[in-house]
Amino acid sequence: MDRPSTPPFDPRFPNQNQTRNCYQNFLDFHRCTRTMRRKGKDTFPCDYYRKVFHALCPLSWVQRWNEQIHEGTFPGKI
């Protein structure tokens, strides 16, 4: 992975609390990879979302969400 950096400003999330931004980028990453794989295309464009949620989200959240996806109990729409 590239050097950690601060994600660019996202006008959808103007407040200091970036929890929703973290969650939305996690969802966008998984939606993007699923769509690209379905189309038989490279998932490289999805890396942007991965980098952003890795920069914003606590590791424990990401691990739990990935467990929930694997178990089929994730509450978000992917």
pLDDT in tens, 27-71: 999 999 999 999 999 999 999 999 999 999 999 999 999 999 999
Q: What radius of gyration do the chain's Cα atoms show?
A: 13
3-class state of residue 45 by DSSP = helix
Q: What is the CATH number of the domain that holds 36?
A: 1.10.10.140
The more confidently predicted of residues 20 and 14 is 20
**Burial of residue 32, with CB atoms counted within 10 A of its CB: 0-12 exposed, 13-18 middle, 19 or more buried:** middle
Domain of 23 in residue numbering reads as: 18-71
Q: Is residue 29 part of a domain?
A: yes
Is the pLDDT reported for residue 2 higher than 90? no
Domain tally for the chain?
A: 1
Q: Is residue 7 part of a domain?
A: no
Q: Is residue 24 part of a domain?
A: yes
Q: Is residue 3 part of a domain?
A: no
Is the pLDDT reported for residue 4 higher than 80? no
Residue 3: its pLDDT value, please?
A: 55
Q: Residue 14 corresponds to which tokens in the numbers above? A: 């103007």
